[in-house]
Amino acid sequence: MRKLFACLVALCFLASALPVFADDANVVRVGMSYDPNTLDYAEVNLDSANFIIEQTAETLIRDAGNGVYVPGLAESWEKSEDAKTWTFHLRDGLTYSDGETKITAEDFRYNLLRTIDPAAAHGNASFGITGSLAYFSGEAAADTVGVKVIDDLTLEYNFEYPAYESTFTSVSLYGALEEAIVSQYPETWGSSVETYLCNGPYMVKEWISDASVTLVKNPNYYNADVATLDEIQVIIGASGDTAVDMILAGQLDICDFTNPQQLQTVQDAGYVVKVSYTESYQGLNVNHKGKTEETGKFMGNTNFLKALNLALSRDNMVLSVRKGETAANRLTAPSEAPYAANPDYEAWPTAGDPELAKEYLNKALEELGVTLEQVPTFGLMCYESQGSIDTLAAVQDMWRNALGIETVIEAVTIQDMISNAMSGNYDFWLGGNAPSVPDSCESYLSGFTTEQYTALRGYSNEEFDALYKKTVAASSLEERYATYADLEAFFCENVLGIITTWTVNHVVAPQSYDNLYVTSGGTLNIVSLTK
């Protein structure tokens, strides 16, 4: 036994004599939760893929952070007075990362038409361009879609509603794609280093599925000097406690955290928060038609929903079941652009107001002609994770104590949750939504319009429809955000959804790191990072 023990000790010493990790001066290691799965512009949807795209692909206009948009592959552009027609002038001499294939206006048209190709059913298909939905539905030809190549360096887009600079930062719709290579490898071009031609400051050197992606400088980028790092290593799976251990062991440089304990541990180790942004707004989705006819009667009553909303103490939730999150007092999170246009708005007190809640409940009961005893039990649906169940248990407790309303928690699988949500088979459902650019209209609020009515929300209101239309029809962001404030107020005051907290993501890095930022879409940019 002694000999065996001695051998083990010797082995440990041997191992410690070997280098555990490299400390290369101009290499940065970034932690990401998941493998990108694909870099196909028409399909990317994970944070890791968005991060890689952000460093390796450029769009017509570039998001430079803090709401600033600068020329990207287009050196200039003009827009019509109603902001529905945009004409772009590309930089001359642009090439892809192979240094040979030229980027032309046709590549942008091809990319857009490919993403909305009716035969392919790509996940990122979106229909803001005129004629795009008709084309996708097979009712119109490709040449009816509102994208026109004027010449090799000029192209024009036509939109159903006004567009903004931020619109053109989406690579799925406004990136450039070389048709020859995609036609040659239609299924695999975005999942192989050999076929992934890019046009950003960096390019992909190596991709080990579910392990790492290595980016190096793209010498053929039109402004190659902007890339300051020799290598960016994206480490897949490095998140949570694993990322903490890696940082403490010196194996990781940049990572993001939402968990306050993990954040504190890495801060104690000398890392600092470089940028924070709202990752999602959490809360209870409301099915305004109710899961059953019986519950639907109450779910469609605004005063009843107001009572439930005011009975919640977001402050207590943040202290107990939603640690590390921020108590929400309105729909729009502080890091979203419309917030700055209306910073003083407070839709409800984060501490709740049980007395006022009771008043609204009594009004609701009077309107519905029932007594408290006749109020049915409502379902609270969530994904079967302990955190979600704890959150709903807190909601259940607050509603019971403040109002005497009974609920039952329905913890289901993720598949059941999505399926139930989409078919309207729920009363309240705990879930989050990611903030969007330029605001939450198209990504979230559109779901409450009569035009896009689904069983998911079960909501329809003419006043809301009018406000929504007015907002998306605004030809400037200033005008849009002014109307958006009314739309948001309508959402909050009529309790279209019960927003409880904002999840804030903190990007940490060593103190000396500089020049990193998060785009409006929530993607980290480290193109010009200095160490």
CB of 34 to another protein, least distance (A): 9
Look at the block and give the residue holding tokens 């051998």: 7
Q: How far apart are CA 160 and CA 254, in angstroms?
A: 40
Q: Which residue has the tokens 């600068």?
A: 70
According to the 3-state scheme, what is the secondary structure of 284-318? Answer: EEECCCCCCHHHHHHHCCHHHHHHHHHCCCHHHHH
Least separation in angstroms between CB 287 and another protein: 13
Pull the structure tokens for residue 205: 């050197």
Identified binder of another protein from the candidate list 2, 3, 5, 18, rule CB under 8 A: 18
**Taking the complex as a whole, how short is the minimal distance between the CB of residue 343 and another protein, in angstroms?**
28
Give yes or no for residue 414 binding another protein (CB under 8 A). Answer: yes
User: 241 vs 514, which CB is nearer to another protein?
Assistant: 241
> Residues 67, 71, 118, 510: which binds another protein (CB under 8 A)?
118
Tokens of 304: 């009843």
Contacting residue, 28, 30, 40, 172, with another protein by CB under 8 A: 40
Pairwise CA distance, residues 49 & 529, whole Å: 19
Q: CA–CA distance from 472 to each of 439, 466, 529 (Å)?
A: 10, 10, 36
Residue from 120, 224, 351, 466 that binds another protein (CB under 8 A)?
120
Q: What is the DSSP string of 127-195?
A: --BTTHHHHHTTSS-GGGSSEEEEETTEEEEEBSS---GGGGG-HHHHB---HHHHHHSTTTGGG-TTT
Instruction: Pick the binder of another protein from 102, 123, 320, 366 (CB under 8 A).
Output: 123
HEC string for 379-433? EEEEECCHHHHHHHHHHHHHHHHHHCCCEEEEEECHHHHHHHHHCCCCCEEEEEE
Cβ proximity to another protein: between 425 and 475 the closer is 425
Looking at 66, 137, 450, 530, which residue binds another protein (CB under 8 A)? 137
- Taking the C-alpha atoms of residue 423 and residue 221, their distance in angstroms, rounded to an integer, is 47
Nearer Cβ to another protein (170/313): 170
Closest distance to another protein from the beta carbon of 304 (Å): 25
Residue 188 vs 362, nearer CB to another protein? 188
By CB atoms closer than 10 A (0-12, 13-18, 19+), residue 75 is middle
Judged by CB under 8 A, the residue of 65, 67, 71, 237 near another protein is: 237
* Buried/exposed 180-206: b ≥16 CB within 10 Å, e otherwise: ebbeeeeeebbbeeeebbbbbbbbbee
16 counts as binding another protein under rule CB under 8 A: yes
Nearer to another protein, 37 or 228 (CB): 37
The helix/strand/coil state of 5 is: helix
Nearest approach, Cβ of 371 to another protein (angstroms)? 37
**Cis amide bond preceding 438, omega within 30:** yes
- C-alpha 399/C-alpha 408 separation (Å) is 11
Q: Which of 10, 12, 68, 224 binds another protein (CB under 8 A)?
A: 12
CB of 181 to another protein, least distance (A): 13
Query: Interaction with another protein in 449-488: which residues (CB under 8 A)?
Result: 454, 456
By CB under 8 A, name the one of 241, 384, 406, 493 that touches another protein. Answer: 241
- Candidates 87, 95, 126, 494; binder of another protein (CB under 8 A) is 126
Residue listed under structure tokens 């899961």: 291
> Least distance from C-beta 252 to another protein, angstroms?
9
Spatial neighbors of 160 by CB under 8 A, at least 6 apart, are: 84, 127, 128, 129, 130
Residue 249 CB, nearest distance to another protein (Å)? Answer: 5
Q: By CB under 8 A, is residue 418 in contact with another protein?
A: yes
Q: Is the dihedral of CA 432, 436, 440, 444 positive or negative?
A: negative
CA 405 to chain centre: 34
Nearer to another protein, 210 or 230 (CB): 210
Would you count residue 223 as binding another protein (CB under 8 A)?
Answer: no
Per CB under 8 A, which region of 202-210, 332-340, 483-491, 513-521 contacts another protein? Answer: 202-210
Residue of the chain from 71, 101, 122, 342 that contacts another protein (CB under 8 A): 122
- Directed axis angle between helix 354-368 and helix 302-310, to 10°? 160
Residue 36 or 72: which CB sits closer to another protein? 36
Total residues contacting another protein by CB under 8 A comes to: 58
Question: Phi first, then psi: what are they for 12, rounded to 5°?
Answer: -60, -40
Minimum Å gap between C-beta 16 and another protein is: 4
Does 415 bind another protein (CB under 8 A)? Our answer is: yes
Backbone angles phi, psi at 293, to 5 degrees: -60, -35
Q: Which residues bind another protein (CB under 8 A)?
A: 1, 12, 15-16, 18, 20-21, 35, 37-38, 40, 43, 45, 118, 120-123, 125-127, 133, 136-137, 187-192, 208-211, 235-238, 241-242, 245-246, 248-251, 413-416, 418-419, 421-422, 431, 443, 454, 456
